[in-house]
């Protein structure tokens, strides 16, 4: 404890006045150094991704490991992930591009309408992007794993719905739609789900 | 005042305190220097941003990902492992399983937080020392609304409550948080965050009753507003029995409270989010305190009725301009009234406007700045009760202008993070307060993080410090036989209490089943509240001995906080924590005749040990145990105690929950605190049992 007392800046002020000034100015300088680091570096832009969308991306990546697509879907080397969401989520998911899951290389494509879904394996729909039932019907038809962070996503026919609870990201599963889409979800996934629609 | 200034000059001290005159220009020079140097640095952002935290997340399994906690300790959502501060998050699940029936009781589970019950409505809650009826160095907020009251500098815990099932989480930051949250966040910040109304749809009714709880009923109804969002309405009422005392008497501390409110959350297009919250509450408490008879000749125990009421409205709106750039605007209005029938009363209105702008580029930079204007006005009439207390002037209007910015810079694949920030608070009565923080976090790999911080924080003068006239005691004069009344007389020139704090922390997430978190700190205080005896004078036939407050108190505290989480099985989770605290107070050597006031009525235990266990015996049956050891309070003469709380919960399905709570099983009664500030007669906390039903439909 006696050793820690050396840290007391108010003591420095009494004994070694010059130190306290150095400390004050040094600390102030530190703040400014970093604030100006900001302004100078703002110009060099990087994709903007917040930690919540990164967390969702990590979940999506894990989900691809626990799903078996039907034989009829055909098993090519590519695992096509289609995204209809806000830019931030598109950016985050785009960073999965080129990674491998179950021996297949992930290809991320942004989509704006339901017409080009035939080759898609996984469809991520952001908040406000479940416009109508049409996209859901198409997804079932083409055996697509649908994931969304919309409120009550699974009630709207999405297979995996992401939501925040207890400051953590959780997910629900609509097993009825998964079965309809002929997708086989592993039991581990079902065990971890917050709730299931059977 | 003049004397003090003189002595300061004589001893050539106070360079940190006084030198606004001569240290500002110097640091201004430094600023210019740094500006020039930094602007000359080449722009090479890309070389700094190698990869991102996504890499770390992608290597984690699904179960691990589900454990990643998101908190807002620095005013923005962040995963808890990335924060260079001692942060603890209480989740709604923790609250449900604690069996607690009030907010202070929930806080008992947090390592390093000292919670002591004074009576049914009054609590002493503090972090890192200075615990009292009004813990003046702890800032508490609920949904961004400041609960800290400037009358005595502290939180009136009796008025703070909500439907506990609607609390999303409580974030507890140990250590200074003033650079983000402002003045008075000296030793810690408690941030209570309620659930988004989209998460509380449907009807929930919960009721409980027991030996202390005379009946608590909460009800909430949440519904959707089209596709735009949701709203909930809620109401809560509770009554508490008087606590039975050792000698068979009742403690005169029964309490009731009713409240009703709403919360609405709306998504307006893809770019705008808005929310509106409002509540009104009314209640009445009772307590006993040591006062005086009308002639001021002797001390008597008086019974107090404490009617309280109030309401608030909080609105905020967030707009996203583009990726990583958003703006939040917030306002709140809060009205509160309280009356101690034999002491004093307070009416306070607070109006607050805030804005906050954030820019982040996800990989190496995260910049946040904002401003606050807060207006507060109060009315404190002169009391004619049995304890004489008055505030001059009776009415005050105070303004706060505040500006803050903080930046988080990340280097080397985000392994090294710097968080720097400063908040400038300008009060009309105490001037400009500059509160910077410098934090650094380094990831050692293998889920080990090491962090360190240096911060400054201040506690602004309370209304009591500045304006109160308060009878403290009677000292009979043996010669003249006239009683001499010791009276506190406030000081307009009272300055803010100041702290420089050093922190060092280490976190290791060994695997999913075992995590440890150790934090050490050294706090150095200056300008602490002190009192010195002035010259006695005759007033209306009474000999008055004035006690004048000043800033001559000095203090140091050192401590260590350890938390370990063990999950031996999927169905069993345990948390062990230990906190050590060592505090020292003294009076500045130039003012030997004064007394240190913090040491007089504030204290916190040297040691606290807690073991918390949550077991899922079957899928429907839960057993929760909390064992606490709290060491004695030597300055307040309160012995140590060990408390054991147990809860047995039964959930036949997702919608119904029955639980049985027992508190303080180990002893029939024990005191937890002794209030020497308002001289409330503390009641001993008895063993108690209660039963609760919660029903969702």
pLDDT of A81-98, one tens digit each?
Answer: 999 888 778 888 888 888
- A131 at B interface, C-beta within 8 A: no
Contact B420, B439 (CB under 8 A): yes
User: H-helix or E-strand containing B31?
Assistant: helix B20-40
User: CB contacts < 8 Å between A and B, how many?
Assistant: 214
Q: Which of A25, A34, A170 sits opposite B26 (nearest CB)?
A: A25
Over residues B612-645, the pLDDT tens digits come to 999 999 989 999 999 999 999 988 999 999 999 9
In-domain check, residue A150: yes
pLDDT of residue B30: 55
Same domain for A23 and A72? no
Q: Is the pLDDT of residue B91 over 50?
A: yes
Residue B448, classified by CB atoms within 10 Å of its CB into exposed (0-12), middle (13-18) or buried (19+), is middle
Could you give the 3-state DSSP secondary structure of residue B572? strand
Question: B246, B212, B285: which is closest to B663 by C-alpha?
Answer: B212
Q: Which of B31, B93, B358 to mutate to test the interface with A (most CBs of A within 10 A)?
A: B31
Task: Tell me, yes or no, if A59 comes closer than 8 A to chain B by beta carbon.
Answer: yes
Residues A88 and A146 in one domain: yes
pLDDT tens-digit profile of A33-76? 666 565 544 433 333 345 678 888 989 998 988 888 887 776 67
Confirm if A27 and B421 have CB atoms less than 8 A apart: no
pLDDT band at B21; cut points 50, 70, 90: very low
Task: Tell me whether residues A54 and B363 touch, CB distance under 8 A.
Answer: no
Q: Do A167 and B71 touch (CB under 8 A)?
A: yes
| CATH code of the domain covering residue A90 | 3.40.50
C-alpha–C-alpha distance, residues B393 and B396, integer Å:
7
Interface test with B, best of A15, A37, A85, A196 (most B CBs within 10 A): A37
Structure ipTM: 0.71
Task: Give the gap in angstroms from C-alpha A74 to the nearest C-alpha of chain B.
Answer: 27
Cβ contact B58–A50 (<8 Å): no
Q: Strand order of the sheet with strand A145-148?
A: A100-101, A104-110, A78-84, A122-125, A145-148, A160-165, A168-174, A196-197
Nearest to A38 among B12, B57, B365 (CB): B365
**How close B339 gets to chain A, by Cα (Å)?**
37
d(CA B626, CA B76): 32
Residue A58 shares a structural domain with residue A125: yes
DSSP B163: -
Interchain CB contact of A86 with B (< 8 Å)? yes
Residues of B in contact with A87 (CB under 8 A): 322-323
Distance linking the first and last C-alpha atoms of chain A: 62
Rounded to whole angstroms, how far apart are CA atoms B62 and B675? 50
Query: Using CB atoms, which residue from B31, B77, B407 is nearest to A28?
Result: B31
Q: Both A89 and A187 in a single domain?
A: yes
Total domains in the fold of chain A:
2
* Minimal C-alpha gap between A92 and chain B (Å): 9
Q: Does residue A161 share a domain with residue A106?
A: yes
Mean pLDDT over B544-562 rounds to: 90
- Beta-carbon separation of A21 and B65 below 8 A: no
Mutation target vs A (from B192, B273, B407, B414; most A CBs, 10 A cutoff): B407
Q: Which residues contact A24 (CB under 8 A, 6 or more apart)?
A: B16, B23, B26, B27
Beta strands (DSSP E) in B380-430 are: 389-391, 395-411, 416-427
Same domain, A58 and A136: yes
Question: Could you tell me which residues come within 8 angstroms of residue B629 by beta carbon, excluding any fewer than 6 positions away?
Answer: B607, B608, B609, B610, B640, B641, B642
Query: Is the minimum CB–CB distance between A66 and chain B shorter than 8 Å?
Result: yes
Q: What is the rounded CA–CA span in Å between residue B491 and residue A15?
A: 29
Q: What is the per-residue pLDDT for B11? A: 38
Q: For chain B, first and last CA: distance in Å?
A: 65
B31–A32: do the CB atoms touch at under 8 Å? yes
Do residues A129 and A189 both lie within one domain?
yes
d(CA B278, CA B307): 21
Task: Examine residue A2 and state whether it is found in any structural domain, yes or no.
Answer: no
CATH fold label, B202-696: Maltoporin; Chain A (2.40.170)
Let me know: does B353 contact B375? Beta carbons within 8 Å.
no
Sheet containing B188-194, strands listed edge to edge, beginning at the edge strand earlier in sequence: B86-91, B167-174, B188-194, B138-142, B145-146
With contacts defined as CB-CB under 8 Å, which chain B residues touch A161?
Answer: none
Q: Which residues of B touch A10 (CB under 8 A)?
A: 16, 500, 524, 526, 554
Q: Output the pLDDT for position B496.
A: 93
Are A76 and A33 part of one and the same domain?
A: no
Whether B219 has a pLDDT exceeding 50, the answer reads yes
Residues A164 and A72 in one domain: yes
Q: Print the domain residue range for A163.
A: 51-197
Lowest mean pLDDT among A2-11, B7-16, B676-685: B7-16
Per-residue pLDDT tens over the stretch B133-146: 999 999 999 999 99
- Domains of chain B by residue range: 202-696
| Domain co-membership, A84 together with A127 | yes
Task: With a cut of 80, say whether residue B104 has pLDDT above it.
Answer: yes
Contacts of B91 (CB under 8 A, 6+ apart): A166, A167, A168, B169
What is the rounded average pLDDT for all residues in chain A?
A: 79
Where does chain A have alpha helices with state H?
9-15, 17-41, 51-63, 87-94, 133-141, 175-180, 187-192
What is the mean predicted confidence (pLDDT) over A11-31? Answer: 62
CA angle B593, B595, B599 (to 5 degrees): 160
B82, B363, B558 ranked by CB distance to A46: nearest: B363
d(CA B246, CA B226): 57
Same-domain check for residues A144 and A115: yes
Do A105 and A21 lie in a common domain?
A: no
């Amino acid at each position: 404890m006696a050793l820690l007392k050396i840290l007391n800046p108010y003591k420095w002020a009494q004994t070694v006045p010059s130190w306290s000034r150095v400390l004050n100015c040094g600390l102030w300088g530190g703040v400014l150094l970093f604030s100006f680091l900001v302004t100078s570096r703002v110009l060099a832009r990087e994709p903007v991704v917040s930690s919540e969308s990164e967390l969702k991306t990590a979940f999506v990546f894990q989900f691809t490991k626990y799903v078996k697509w039907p034989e009829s879907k055909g098993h090519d080397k590519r695992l096509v992930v289609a995204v209809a969401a806000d830019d931030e989520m598109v950016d985050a998911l785009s960073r999965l591009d080129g990674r491998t899951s179950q021996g297949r290389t992930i290809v991320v494509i942004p989509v704006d309408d339901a017409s080009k879904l035939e080759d898609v394996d996984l469809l991520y729909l952001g908040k406000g992007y479940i416009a109508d039932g049409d996209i859901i019907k198409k997804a079932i038809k083409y055996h697509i794993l649908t994931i969304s962070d919309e409120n009550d996503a699974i009630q709207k026919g999405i297979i995996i719905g992401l939501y925040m609870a207890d400051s953590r990201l959780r997910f629900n599963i609509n097993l009825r739609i998964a079965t309809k889409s002929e997708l086989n979800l592993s039991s581990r996934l079902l065990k971890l789900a917050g709730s299931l629609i059977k | 005042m003049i004397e003090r200034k003189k002595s300061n000059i004589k001893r050539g001290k106070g360079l940190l305190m006084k030198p606004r005159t001569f240290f500002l220009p110097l640091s201004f020079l430094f600023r210019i220097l740094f500006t020039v140097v930094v602007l000359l640095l080449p722009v090479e952002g890309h070389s700094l941003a190698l990869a991102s935290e996504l890499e770390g997340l992608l290597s984690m399994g699904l179960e691990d990902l589900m454990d990643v906690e998101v908190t807002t300790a620095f005013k923005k959502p962040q995963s808890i492992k990335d924060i260079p501060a001692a942060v603890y998050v209480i989740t709604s699940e923790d609250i449900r399983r604690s069996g607690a029936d009030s907010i202070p009781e929930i806080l008992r589970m947090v390592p390093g937080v000292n919670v002591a019950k004074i009576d049914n409505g009054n609590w002493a809650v503090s972090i890192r020392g200075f615990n009292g009826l009004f813990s003046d160095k702890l800032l508490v907020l609920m949904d961004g609304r400041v609960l800290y009251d400037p009358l005595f500098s502290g939180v009136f815990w009796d008025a703070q409550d909500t439907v506990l099932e609607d609390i999303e989480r409580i974030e507890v930051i140990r250590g200074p948080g003033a650079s983000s949250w402002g003045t008075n966040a000296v030793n810690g910040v408690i941030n209570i965050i309620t659930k988004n109304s989209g998460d509380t749809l449907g009807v929930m009714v919960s009721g409980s009753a027991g030996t202390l709880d005379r009946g608590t009923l909460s009800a909430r109804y949440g519904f959707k507003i089209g596709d735009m969002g949701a709203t909930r309405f809620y109401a809560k009422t509770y009554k508490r029995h008087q606590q039975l005392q050792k000698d068979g008497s009742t403690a005169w501390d029964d309490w009731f409270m009713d409240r009703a409110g709403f919360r609405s959350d709306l998504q307006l297009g893809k770019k705008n989010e808005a929310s509106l919250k409002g509540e009104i509450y009314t209640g009445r408490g009772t307590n006993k305190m040591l006062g005086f008879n009308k002639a001021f000749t002797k001390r008597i125990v008086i019974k107090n009725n404490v009617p309280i009421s109030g309401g608030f409205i909080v609105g905020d709106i967030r707009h996203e301009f583009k990726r990583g750039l958003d703006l939040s605007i917030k306002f709140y209005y809060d009205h509160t009234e309280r009356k101690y029938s034999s002491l004093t009363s307070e009416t306070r209105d607070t109006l607050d406007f805030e804005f906050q702008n954030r820019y982040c580029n996800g990989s190496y930079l995260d910049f946040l700045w904002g401003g606050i204007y807060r207006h507060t006005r109060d009315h404190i009439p002169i009391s004619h009760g049995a304890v004489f207390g008055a505030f001059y002037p009776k009415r005050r209007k105070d303004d706060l202008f505040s500006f803050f910015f903080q930046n988080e810079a990340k280097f080397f694949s985000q392994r090294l993070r710097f968080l720097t920030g400063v908040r400038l608070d300008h009060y009309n009565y105490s001037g400009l307060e500059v509160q910077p923080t410098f934090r650094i976090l380094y990831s050692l790999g293998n889920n080990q993080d090491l962090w360190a911080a240096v911060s400054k924080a201040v506690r602004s003068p309370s209304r009591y410090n500045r304006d109160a006239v308060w009878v403290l005691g009677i000292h009979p004069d043996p010669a003249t036989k006239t009683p001499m009344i010791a009276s506190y007389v406030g000081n307009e020139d009272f300055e803010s209490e100041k702290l420089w704090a050093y922190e060092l922390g280490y976190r290791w997430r060994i695997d999913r089943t075992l995590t440890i978190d150790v934090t050490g700190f050294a706090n150095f205080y200056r300008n602490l509240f002190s009192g010195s005896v002035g010259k006695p004078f005759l007033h209306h036939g009474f000999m008055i001995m004035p006690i004048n407050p000043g800033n001559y108190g000095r203090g140091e505290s050192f401590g260590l906080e350890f938390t370990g989480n063990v999950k031996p099985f999927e169905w069993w989770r345990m948390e062990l924590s230990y906190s050590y605290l060592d505090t020292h107070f003294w009076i500045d050597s130039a003012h030997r005749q004064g007394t240190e006031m913090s040491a007089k009525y504030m204290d916190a235990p040297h040691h606290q040990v807690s073991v918390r266990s949550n077991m899922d015996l079957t899928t429907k049956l839960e057993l929760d145990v909390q064992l606490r050891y709290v060491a004695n309070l030597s300055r307040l003469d309160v012995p140590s105690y060990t408390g054991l709380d147990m809860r047995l919960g039964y959930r036949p399905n997702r919608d119904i929950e029955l639980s049985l709570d027992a508190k303080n099983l180990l002893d029939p009664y024990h005191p937890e605190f002794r209030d020497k500030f308002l001289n409330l007669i503390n009641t001993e906390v008895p063993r108690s049992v209660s039963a609760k039903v919660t029903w969702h439909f």
